[in-house]
Amino acid sequence: MTHVALFDYGAGNLHSLKKGLEAGGARVTITTDWDEALDRDALVLPGVGSFGAAVQGLGKAGPRVRRALEGGLPCLGICLGMQLLFPVSEEAGGEGVGLIPGRVRRVRARTVPQIGWNDVDVTADPILEGVGGELTAYYANSFVCEVDEALEDEVVVARSTYEDDTFAAAVRMGRTWGLQFHPEKSSRPGLRILANFIEEVTR
């Protein structure tokens, strides 16, 4: 059975995400220890809290996490966890993992945060298999990820539009995926995405 480390950087309720990953066929360990997290079959960075708090939880492990992901450790970053894959954020100081070139910026909208359901335009990527050309997913965010323009078409695998702002809903680099929405709160399609990730880990 695939053993997934769900990293806890001290914010948010991890219960529903743990259940979603288990429903997808994984054994899940919640941990605050990077030695343990990077020793499992896959790493999941959850999506509740602030960039500043997540960077504190990352501590000095950023370069080590990046090397593990570049070396092929499968990873899924959700909402804040996706943002942590980038080097910097407008939300707070400190450095993220820096795997994906770009930055995290505030949503360009009148009503912030974006909370609720939104359409997602998806491309052909294994983690999005079986959800159709368009899905509706649950968001709760004030910030979004902006991939460097030179890599945008290669890295961004799904997009959403909130008010007049179109942004990356999902990204992929190697065996690392990021989702700006919350699959664990996105009904059956979201659980399918989590199951797809577990399937990708086993390949």
Which distant-in-sequence residues (6+ apart) come within 8 Å of 157 by Cβ?
Answer: 122, 123, 125, 127, 128, 170, 171, 172, 177
Burial 94-127 (b: 16+ CB within 10 A, else e): bebbbbbebbbbebeeeeeebeeebebebeeeeb
Q: Looking at 75, 91, 145, 184, which residue is catalytic?
A: 184
Conformational region of residue 130, where left means phi above 0, alpha means psi within -120 to 50, and beta covers everything else: left
> What whole-number distance in Å separates Cα of residue 159 and Cα of residue 179?
10
Extract the tokens encoding 119. Answer: 């359409």
Which of these is catalytic: 75, 79, 91, 145?
79
| Helix pair 15-23, 187-202: axis angle to 10 deg | 60
Is residue 184 among the annotated active site residues? yes
Q: Which one-letter DSSP state was computed for residue 174?
A: T
Q: Is 182 a catalytic residue?
A: yes
Look up residue 59 and give its DSSP letter. G
Q: Are 62 and 95 in contact (CB under 8 A)?
A: yes
* Catalytically annotated residues: 79, 182, 184
